[in-house]
Structure 1
Amino acid sequence: MSQQLEAWRDWYAGSFEVASIDASDRGFAGKSEVWKFDGMALVSVSAPPLRAVRTKSLIRRDPTDHWVITIGKRGATDLMLEKDQTAVPAGVPFVLSLGEFSANQRNLDHRLQLNIARDKFSYFAPALDAARGQALNTPLGGMLSEYISLLERQLPGLTEADAQRLPQAVAGMVAACIATSMDSVTKAHEQISATLKEKARRCIRRNLRSPRLGASMLCRELGMSRSSLYRLLESEGGVQRYIQHHRMAESFALLSDPSNAQQIVVIADDVGMLDLSSFSRAFRRQFGISPTDVREAARAGLDPSLAVVDRGTKGVVSGLLARL
């Protein structure tokens, strides 16, 4: 059982910390199938009782903030976010963002997970962001559950031409089923905030290189006051930290590309960090290793994310760098 469980943990290591909650000696008979298409992936998972946690440490290592719509086919899910906790019945979809802490626990189950890339489908970001952490126990939620189950049955037989047309059709169905269900005043407020945050995120990505990127630019782009902007991004650690997060995430991606021959000072400039020393210090604070470490790992054919340690950790970086 231990070897099977370790293999399962390794498979999900970049996204979730996984722990078995089954004390029996029946082994860990897990099975996972993945179908990928442009900007989306459908994952079919059968596994014994387990707990999966998207920790803040993992989020720092892997800044991917895609959405995941999950359906437990046979069993309920105990779901916990930063401030909320809920039990999601079998057959009911729920939405998580990989950019936020989450923990879920379930018994023996067959689950479907629809992964949606935020950058590819940002036009309905507010609907998915407002629905995250909720059990979509509505008629439209039931329709979405049946639709995703139908995808699982039909995907293996799709032609390449059909697969190319599929993402927009799936996105339309998801948007219709989720957005229409948000009819309360609270949900409307959440959607407005999510829309503004998505607009701020796009503005930052467009202007990473600009030395003028800051609160004033975001206020102009979003048409809001400075105090409102600070409230909007308070949960992200503040305006400057939110901008810094995106700059460091982009630089990590560039340094992790072994085909990128740019000097580190050029990459620092590309993400709006004009001073190399400041960039290196910020990078090490964010990821626990230096830009040079990431570049050397990538050029050695290794995964740089395996070398990332928690922010504030001191000492020698273990794991990947030890093998360089």
Structure 2
Amino acid sequence: MSHVQSPTQPHMRFDSSAIAAHEALDYWRGSLSQSWEMSVPDQAAASDFHADVSVWRMADLMVGAARFGPVQTRMRRERNIQSDQLDHYRIILLHDGVFRCDAAGRQVSLTPGRFVISDMALPESSELACNSAVLYVPRDKLDQALPQPMRLHGLSPDGACAHLLADHLFALLRSLPEAAPEELPSLAAATVGLVAASLAPTAIDPQTTGVAIDGSILRRARKHVEDELMDCEFGAQQLCAALRISRSTLYRLFEPFGGVAQYIKERRLARVHQILSQTTERQSIARLAEDHGFKSSAHFSKAFRAQFGYSPREVERPDALPALPGHRTSGERFDQLLGSLYQ
């Protein structure tokens, strides 16, 4: 899995071989910190940390390859989900090494040539020391390509189409750096189609069909909330009217999130966090709070600290992790490239 850099596409390259292992580990952990809590369980092995990562934007998808060692753990918690707002599916395809994950009770241990899909809106834990390919797909793109709603978190299909998808991803990594920009939308569409084809034959447990349908309604509700975060009057009544569902259904769907009002408040806080973390320009925190429905700066600051554990002025900005001297890197940092998926 060798790669050629292309300066014409949004990309990121990180190669730790030119710097000290502990510096590389700290830098990479910081680059992941918004989306995952990362650790090396055996601290003695931390001195052996190495990483070689290449990631490209492909229209509204993101595709890449990575080598990591030694074994590291990653936890995606509610705090991370609230912070990065990634409403995407992620596919990990194992080339060699170890990749194990627990996706809300679905436990998967990959073998070479197999992949697992995870829902970025749900918690997940993983252990990995591997050579792998990764693909991020917007939720709406894949959901529209599937024949019916499916619970995809932790799914690891093993059919002919799944094998074709594996071959496609490895071939894509070889050819993508040389692809012309006008080819990217077609490549992205073909890739989503193969992902959907590999998942469609998967047997669906009838007991989870209702869960999948509820998940589809919930995703529509969450998207509508995102669109209305700056409407100070927006609440459960407006959401029921937009989705044409009863209050009892709405409250049941949002019960795991602490209720509708709590969810909307957390999303408003996350939106402000996103704005603060993705710009180097000084922002008026009082104005951001007012624009997102908070009646006072004091109320906003208290809620912000309760959700994230630090004040709005302590949010890490894009330039908070300086370039490390001598390391092999190009393009954006991984967190910046992930952030571009919002656009």
- TM-score scaled by structure 1? 0.77
My pick for the range that moved more, 21-30 or 2-11, is 21-30
Structure 1 position 62, deviation (Å): 3.6
Partner of 1:227: 248
Which of 279, 288, 291 matches 2:300? 279
Match in the other structure for 1:190: 211
Which one of the candidate residues 70, 73, 95 is aligned to 2:117? 95
1:253 aligns with 2:270: no
Note closer, same or farther for the CA distance 1:25–1:100 as it changes in structure 2 (3 Å cut): closer
Query: Does residue 74 of structure 1 match 2:116?
Result: no
Match of 1:111 among 128, 132, 140: 132
> 1:34, 1:41 within 8 Å by CA — same for their partners in 2?
yes
Give runs of aligned pairs for residues 11-22 of structure 1, distance below 5 A: 11-12=28-29, 13-14=32-33, 15-16=35-36, 17-19=38-40
Amino acid in structure 1 at the alignment position of 2:222:
R
Q: How does 1:143-292 map to 2 (within 5 A)?
A: 143-181=164-202, 183-258=204-279, 263-292=284-313
Q: CA deviation at 1:18?
A: 3.5
Q: What is the deviation of 1:71?
A: 0.9
Q: Could you give the per-residue CA deviations for residues 120-177 of structure 1, whole angstroms, max 9, x where no partner exists?
A: 7674699797211122223332232222122112212212221244323322332333
Q: Does 1:42 align with 2:63?
A: yes
Deviation at 1:114, TM superposition (A): 0.6
How far apart, CA to CA, are the structure 2 residues paired with 1:119 and 1:6? 38
Q: Secondary structure at the match of 1:67?
A: strand
Residues 61 and 136 in structure 2, CA contact (< 8 A), matched pair in contact too: yes
Residue 261 of structure 1, CA deviation: 6.6
% identity of equivalent residues: 26
Pair 53,265 (structure 1): closer, same or farther in 2 beyond 3 Å: same
Alpha-carbon separation, structure 1, partners of 2:288 and 2:186: 36
Structure 1 counterpart SS, 2:40: strand
Could you tell me which residue of structure 1 aligns to residue 320 of structure 2? 302
Q: Deviations over 1:67-125 (max 9, x none)?
A: 21001112453211343423233322111233332222245x31111123447767469
Closer/same/farther in 2, CA of residues 191 and 143 from structure 1, 3 Å limit: farther
Larger RCO (CA under 8 A, 6+ residues apart)? 2
Return the alpha-carbon distance in structure 1 between the equivalents of residues 189 and 223 of structure 2: 21
Name the SS for the 1:272 alignment partner: coil
Which residue identity is paired with 1:3? A
In structure 1, distance between residues paired with 2:176 and 2:203: 29
Q: Provide the C-alpha distance between the structure 2 equivalents of 1:282 and 1:124, rounded to a whole number of angstroms.
A: 39
Alignment-derived partner of residue 329 in structure 2 = none
Moved more, 10-19 or 143-152: 10-19
Q: Give TM-score scaled by structure 2 length.
A: 0.73
Q: Which residue of 2 aligns with 1:313?
A: none
CA distance in 1, matches of 2:257, 2:84: 16
Q: Is the 8 A contact 1:182 1:188 kept in 2?
A: no
Deviation at residue 61 of structure 1 after TM alignment: 4.5
Helix, strand or coil for the counterpart of 1:208? coil
Opposite residue 253 of structure 1, the aligned amino acid is Q
How many residue pairs match? The answer is: 299
Q: Is the 8 A contact 2:159 2:198 kept in 1?
A: no
Contact 1:126 1:195 in 2 (8 A): no
Per the alignment, do residues 5 and 45 of structure 1 end up closer, same or farther by CA in structure 2, a change over 3 Å counting?
Answer: farther
- The CA RMSD measured in Å over matched residues stands at 3.4
Residue among 35, 47, 51 paired with 2:72: 51
CA contact (8 A) 1:125 1:198 kept: no
Check the 8 A contact 1:219/1:225 in 2, yes or no: yes
Q: Which runs of 5+ in 1 are unaligned?
A: 304-324
Q: Give the gaps of 5 or more residues in structure 2.
A: 1-16, 322-343
Q: Report the Cα distance in structure 1 between the residues aligned to 2:133 and 2:22, rounded to whole angstroms.
A: 20
Provide the rounded CA distance (Å) in 1 between the counterparts of 2:280 and 2:127. Answer: 40
SS in 1 for 2:74: strand
Which residue type is aligned with residue 80 of structure 1? D
Q: Which amino acid aligns with 1:263?
A: S
